[in-house]
Homo-oligomer: A and B are copies of this chain.
């Protein structure tokens, strides 16, 4: 009996995992992907999907949570030591790569989830940016005349603006990374200091 319930639980976990993975992939291609498509991509029936998730919003939430967890793992690998401007450029570059990959999923999330929930899920990535901004301010690399939450808002807003421009075909994803970095580094420069020259190609 205990063995059977263990096996059932293992089955359920496998199904949930397959559904969340399929949701991440399907919604990553098409923010309007239906629950039937997601169930089918996961190799489960709709009844199984509905036995684990009460609504489309719950599926989207689980997919975004997974994408952000994986994103956090990728961001952990970014070297945030040394020159704060170069560290910020590395962080922006990797963050944009993740946002660009998850663009369609983020559209689905903006439609299905309350803004407070999306913000809450981004607390991990936001904390990393905050730590770097705090160090950069202490070292004189970033401006201190504007509050830290505002600087984080600026970074997020510019990334979101870039994602919208890519979606409407006005910008290519690879040019976007350099644009965002150059803009954010300038925006964070203390008044009276020089805006950094982009290193390398121009």
> Interface on A for B, CB 8 Å cutoff?
115-116, 143, 145-146, 149-150, 153-154, 156-158, 160-162, 164-165, 168, 170-171, 179, 182-184, 186-198, 202
Contact = CB atoms under 8 A, between A and B. Distances in A.
Nearest to A162: B153
Interface of A is mostly: helix
Nearest to A170: B149
A197 B192 CA distance: 6
Contacts of A183: 146, 150, 154, 187
A191 B195 contact: yes
Contacts of A153: 161-162, 164-165, 170-171
A5 B198 CA distance: 67
Nearest to A149: B170
B145 A182 contact: yes
Contacts of A150: 165, 171, 179, 183
